[in-house]
Each structure stands twice: as structure tokens, then as C-alpha cells.
Amino acid sequence: MIQSDVLILGGLSGITAGISCRRHYPDKKVVLVRKEGTILIPCGIPYIYGTVGGPQYNVIPDGLLESNDIQLVKNEAVDVDREKKIVTLADGETISYDKLVFATGSLPAVPPIPGVDKKNVYPIRKDYHYLEDVFEEMKSVRDIVIIGGGFIGVEFADECRKGRDVNITVVEALPHCLQMALDDEFCAEAQEKLSETGVKILVNTKVESIIGDDAVSGVRLSDGNELKADMVILGIGAKPNTSLAEKSGIELGYNKAIRVDAHMQTYTDPNIFACGDCAEKQSFFTGRPINVMLASIATAEARIAGANLYSPVHHHTGAISVFSSVVDGRAFAVAGLTERQAKEYGMNIVIGRAQAPDTHPGGMPNSTMTKVKLMFAKETGVILGGSISGGRSVGEMINVVSACIMHRMTANDIVQFQMGTHPALTSSPIVYPIVNAACKAVLPIRNCQ
């Protein structure tokens, strides 16, 4: 039997939980068990097929575990005896624990479409060798159909075209690609960018069946039309990987995710914690359970879980949901609520918009126009959400917006924001778009108070 103080089951968020535990409780023995030989960077998976050029360039090194004195056991946990505090592995080996962390992540959602089990139909699994097989198979295909126009589908469409002579079609059931994450004007902008690359986009369209003999040869749509396809990629989301937790008697909540409190402690057992995609999420704004799976949230939860294992140190305030992506070189990002979501919640809102080049003057090389949309509660002026499109700086600008949301800043607070600027790095301080968007919301908010 292997002895441990803290036993972690899982990959990406498990690594972060282990490092957090080591920082707060350096005297504890930490063991991490994972089935996978190699851990991939989840958000980088679409880029394996274009920009990065292979799964071997999209991995998290095990040196992180070694340098933090975390013992790695490459095996599969198959049973948890909560009374004896023992986990049994697939080969019969056992590991004892004082505290246990579920960081088992998620599995791809596979819709019940007839023909979904045919050869060359690929859900997006976080498995190195599986994705390596997809990479090799993609070298010989001509027609790729991607089912799902969310971030996964759009990023795969954008990347798979790079360096290949292929026809790519995205099939999305909603009126817009990226509609679950972005407001309509940003969806339209992203969709236009993707179309400009030659990717065909079908919205308001459902897949009726996947056709072919043993291997896929096409996709039949609900309107009766058929698309030629020798590869189909399923990009319709994921579901929590909680079968072992359920078998262990751990209470599950919304979407069969593990129920946890603000300390990431399970409702069922005070010695068991959970973090990442397998753990239930509550909205920062409403406190209601939400179905969002992001590496940024997973690692934040993992840091909280690791810190709280032996004493409550950190408190999870809820998921703000911060997204960012790139379509044909243009970045799109959102933090917090979209206008559509706020209206669904019945919130009274004020919107401020601004745009400016991300250099000053705007004629500098590689300058890109940045568009910012901020949304505030009409009664209080507190920021509820922000959307941005533009160049590479958007990735960090949206993190600034997220910090503003987390600290419940008002439009007046943001107007007083003191930013660092440089001609080659940022917009002019005169027209800095986050500040200017807030400025445009101040008067309408004041008139409502």
C-alpha cells in the first residue's frame, strides 16, 4: 500500500491543487494518480492541428510535479473506500489518504446521432494518443464537417484549414456560431472572419444522421441536404467525469457534477474535495448552478481546494466566466454576463461602447482596432460584463474587466482607472476603450438614480 496525506485523482486541475497544497502545507505527502501518460493543455487542443503542429507540442511537463515534490502514479483509480480512506487502482494497488481531491475533469459530450460511432467520427477527447491518431488521419482527408459552432468547433475550423487543402463546414443549430458565449454583434463579427477563410458555416441547422458504411462518407441535415465528409469532428461540449465519485457515494448536483461548497469541500464527506470540470459551478451573479467548463475556472478552484484541505483559507465567490478566442487572427473575449444573459435574468442595464486602435498613433505597424462593450447595472452602476474584440492585447484586457467584475467596481470607479500606456503597446490614454466605454455609461446611470 502507498501511504499519502493528500491523494489527488486527476490531471490538469489536480496538478494545480497539488502545488497549492504543497505551498500551504509543505509537510504533507502529496500523491497524484492519473490514467493518462501525458497531460495535454486542454485549450490548446484545436491548435495541435494548425499553429502548433502536433500533440507533442501541447503538453504539460511532469517536471512541475517533480519540482513540487508531488509523487505521480500513472494508473486508474477504480474504487474509493471512504470509511477506510483507501483508494484502489486498476492493477489492485491501494493508496491510503487523509484528504482526497477529485480533479477528474470532463468527457466529451456525444450526441445520440445515428452513425455517430462510425470510423473517422471524432469527439474531442483529452487523450494524447487519440489526438495523435486524429492528426495522422487528417493528413489524408478532403472534406471535414464540424458539428457544433461553439469555441471548440470554431477553433477547430480555423486551425484545420491551415496548411491543408480541405473543405470545412461548420454545422450549428443556433442562429449564430459562438452564441452561447458572445453577444450577437460579436458573433456576427467572428462568423464573418471565419467565413473569409473559406470555411462554410451553416446556422439554424441540425444534423439528422452521419452516413456511410464502416467509415463516414457524409452528413445528412435536418432539411434533407447532405454534406460530403470523410471526417466529422464533434465540438458540442463536455460533461463532468464523475462516475467514480458517484460510485463512491459522493453527492452529485447540477449536470451530474460533484456538489461542493465555497471551500471546494464536498457536501458528502468533509475529507473529500473536488475542483475543475468535475465540480459543480455557481454563478458569481445569481448563485445558481451553471454549466461552464474553463481551464481558468478549474485552476482557480484547484488553488482554493489545495489551500483549504486542512484549514479554510480561501473562499470561492462563484464563476464569472471569462472566455477568449482567436478567429483568423482577430481576438474575441467576454467576461461576466452578456447583454442577452442579463436580459434573460430580467436585469436593468446600461451599456457603454468604445473603440480605438491598440497603438497610438493608429498608423503604427500591426495596429488593430479594438472594440469594447461594457454593461452595468442601471440602479447601482456596478459592472456586470464586458465584451472585447481586437488584437492580441484583448486576451489581457478581458482579464482586467474580469477583475473589475470580481471587485464589483462601478462605472465611476473605472472612469478613474489609471492605466499604463505606450505607443507601441496600448491605445492612447485619451481614448483607452475600457475607460471610454465606462465614461459613456456614467450619465445614463446617473439619470436613473
201 SS3 class = strand
Looking at domain 121-236, which CATH architecture does it have?
A: 3-Layer(bba) Sandwich (3.50)
Q: Do domains 121-236 and 329-448 have the same CATH topology?
A: no
d(CA 427, CA 357): 6
The reported pLDDT for the residue numbered 449 is 62
Count CB atoms within 10 A of the CB of residue 419: 11
The reported pLDDT for the residue numbered 353 is 97
Q: 277-310: b or e for each residue (b if 16 or more CB lie within 10 Å)?
A: bbbbbbbbbeeebbebbbbbbbbbbbbbbbbbbe
17 SS3 class = helix
Return per-residue pLDDT of the chain as tens, 449 residues.
999 999 999 988 999 999 999 999 999 999 999 998 888 999 999 999 999 999 999 999 888 899 999 999 999 999 999 999 999 999 999 999 999 999 999 999 999 999 999 999 999 999 999 999 999 999 999 999 999 999 999 999 999 999 999 999 999 999 999 999 999 999 999 999 999 999 999 999 999 999 999 999 999 999 999 999 999 999 998 999 999 999 999 999 999 999 999 999 999 999 999 999 999 999 999 999 999 999 999 999 999 999 999 999 999 999 999 999 999 999 999 999 999 999 999 999 999 999 999 999 988 998 999 999 999 999 999 999 999 999 999 999 999 999 999 999 999 999 999 999 999 999 999 999 999 999 999 988 887 76
In the chain, domain spans: 6-107+239-308, 121-236, 329-448
Question: If we measure between CA atoms, which residue out of 140, 193, 149, 190 comes closest to residue 172?
Answer: 149
Q: Is the pTM of this model over 0.75?
A: yes
Residues 6+ apart with CB under 8 A from 315: 262, 263, 304
| CATH class name, domain 329-448 | alpha beta
d(CA 436, CA 217): 52
Say if domain 6-107+239-308 classifies as CATH 3.50.50.60: yes
